[in-house]
Amino acid sequence: MEHAGSDPNPSGALAPAAERRWPTWLEPAFLALLVAVWLASLSAGLGLSDAWRSRLSWSALAVGALSLVVMGAKRRWLDGPRLLLVAVALWSFADVYSRIGGDGVEYYVPLRSILLDHDLDFANDFAGLGASPVKTRAGEVTTRFPVGMALLWAPHFLLAHGLALLARACGGVNPADGFAPIYHLALTRASFLYGLAGLLLVENLLRHLYGRGVALLATLAIWLATPLHFYMEVNPSMAHAASAFAAACLLVTWRRARDTVRVGPWLLVGCCGGVLALVRTYDAALLAMPALDLLIRERRRAWQPLAAFLAGPALAALLQALFWLVIYGPGFVAIVLQQSGAVRIAPHILDVLFAARHGLFTWTPLYLVAALGWILLVRRERLFGALLILGFTLTLTLTAATVDWWAADSFGQRRLLGLTPFFALGLGEALALACRRPLVPLACLIATLAFWTIQFEYVFNSQVVASKNQAVTLDRLVPAQIDASFHDLLRAEKWLPRPVFVLLYDNLKGVWLDEGSHSLDGLIDVGKETQEFPDVVARQWYGPESDGEQTFRRPRGRRASLRVPIRTVDEFDVTLRARQMLVELPVSVNLVVNGVDVGGTQLTPEWREYKLSVPASALHSGFNDVALSFSAAPRADLPGYQGKNAAAAVDWLRFVRHGPSPDVPPSAP
């Protein structure tokens, strides 16, 4: 008989306690395995096998999946959506580009020079990386960028250096000199990890606002459907992934500090803002949002937290100024302005947003959905939503005011990637609305299908793809749809605002006189059929003719015109190759541009080239009407004449702009 209070199964009494203990280690084990994956990925830089990274990745996912099943509510961070994010990160991590290049070289040289050489002579650092040195106008080797990336990379550099020294002590052959592959691996993967950390911060904020499903979808979208993915994986030595991370820190700390006027939280917001400004100087415009938020909401109580907030950016500015003072001396301000190469121009705001050349919304339509989400957010949080729009406007204006507003070899509008967490917030708001009102995305889909169908009707009736009784394949239909949209655009040219027309044409056709990927190279060959853009030969021309190898066209009567597509207006020198056709009928020609007579010349019976000049004031962006006005026409000036009503023949016109090509901004000193 059992005694009161005794345990009928002593061996079984320990089992529940053990079950309560061992599953709690699953989540820490999962996180530890992720750290091991990161360290194992660096082993390739020491000449070791990368196989352990793959094994540890699968082990981490297995432990994570087990923790979802076993731990239940005991999990502190990990759940299904976050495990999916980690899985995508592990899949991407293996493909992160492993060499420092481009702007990354200039971020790296001060870091290596200070930590290993203990000086600020960067010549050997550029040489060790195999890069051409950047020099001031005085010929001194320098770096043009702020020190933010060097600060963020410093812990990873020191880790790589420690591993390199350890490998050398164990008989390894790779030098611990700051140039070995492990240093490159550590820092490119550091950029990926900073970008990932920013995404996880954003996901955490979004799930508190909109729930796990919307947070997961918005985070994956802002990661994989924007240029962020490119600058985390394909070109990670640029500053943009780190910029997105710093901006995420700013957003998260700002949201938490909004409920208080205590100095501590606002000091943290300012420190995040200081790091953001040190990583990319233009992103400092985003600091206006929390500062105005404090002043508007708190008014008289705002001064202490505002002073704490401004301490971070002030400290960052002081650190950067000290760096410049050391390398340039007291006159560093003038040298920095020379080195920046940031020539200011009238802001190309519409181009930055909609141009075919790296336009924000044309290259990344998801951003447009996110921007619409900010408008929705204004209805719920009026001040906060308005401040997001203000921060976007300020950053956009700074970007649009640079001479290379398309950001050189950028994938999309990379200079606006500091807005990533703010776009994610707008996207979360838009997705939340779509979840509540499923007819909204359905209506957008129907509108798109309706447009496609109406255009298809035109393509079908015109039989440009196939006869009406034949099959129509997508590989021919899609270009035909684009061509039909282009002709619709040409018909709408007269009533569309010129900037809108230019942007639509740029995206649909994009054939310009001397710029862009479909450039005519400044040459309008009147005597040949222009396959790339037949619309350039406009009105009052006879068909193309040839005389041996010479091709030409004759004007019909006294005037014939061309449609010359110019995106960036400038003064042009125009060379006209032409001749007088009838010896008995002398003729002169005047060039009339958009109704402005810019000059003329007398033609000779032989083929000759004639020089004319077109002022910038006579041109505009878009299609320009360039007419050749002739002084005579044979049917009017030669009694009894029965031939073609043309007193001249034209071979080609070549346009050469006075200024530099818009495709290539002035190089930095």
User: Measured between alpha carbons, how far is residue 275 from residues 33, 186, 264, 316, 395 in Å?
Assistant: 29, 20, 17, 7, 17
Tell me 535's DSSP state. Answer: G
Mean pLDDT on 601-605: 94
Q: Helix, strand, or coil here: 652?
A: strand
243: Cα separation from own chain's centroid:
13
Q: What pTM did the predictor assign?
A: 0.85
pLDDT value, residue 534: 65
| Positive/negative CA dihedral, 642, 643, 645, 647 | negative
Given a cut of 70, whether residue 486 has pLDDT beyond it is yes
How many Å apart are CA 258 and CA 274, to the nearest integer? 18
pLDDT tens track for 193-213: 999 999 999 999 999 999 999
Mean pLDDT on 95-113: 92
Q: Helix, strand, or coil here: 182?
A: helix
Residue 127: which residues within 8 A CB-CB, separation 6 or more?
133
pLDDT value, residue 535: 75
Q: What is the mean pLDDT of the chain?
A: 88
Residue 98: which residues within 8 A CB-CB, separation 6 or more?
44, 45, 181, 184, 185, 188
Q: What is the CA radius of gyration of the chain?
A: 32
Given a cut of 50, whether residue 107 has pLDDT beyond it is yes
Domains recognised in the chain with CATH numbers: 22-93 (no CATH), 103-435 (no CATH), 439-491 (no CATH), 523-657 (2.60.120.260)
Q: Helix, strand, or coil here: 37?
A: helix
pLDDT tens track for 157-180: 999 999 999 988 887 778 889 999
User: Measured between alpha carbons, how far is residue 450 from residues 445, 466, 473 in Å?
Assistant: 9, 21, 19
Given a cut of 60, whether residue 489 has pLDDT beyond it is yes
Lowest mean pLDDT among 225-229, 438-442, 555-559: 438-442
Nearest to 525 by CA among 655, 417, 438, 409: 655
For the ranges 116-120, 167-171, 387-391, 472-476, the maximum mean pLDDT occurs at 387-391
pLDDT tens track for 535-567: 788 889 998 998 888 899 999 999 999 999 999
Band the pLDDT of 619: cuts 50, 70, 90: very high
pLDDT value, residue 586: 93
| β-strands 608-614, 141-142 pairing | unpaired
pLDDT value, residue 665: 64
How many Å apart are CA 392 and CA 396, to the nearest integer? 6
Band the pLDDT of 375: cuts 50, 70, 90: very high
How many Å apart are CA 628 and CA 559, to the nearest integer? 6
Mean pLDDT on 14-43: 76
CA atoms within 13 A on the CB side of 590: 12
Q: How many percent of the chain have pLDDT more than 90? A: 59
How many Å apart are CA 222 and CA 429, to the nearest integer? 13
How many Å apart are CA 414 and CA 208, to the nearest integer? 28
Given a cut of 90, whether residue 605 has pLDDT beyond it is yes
89, amino acid identity: A
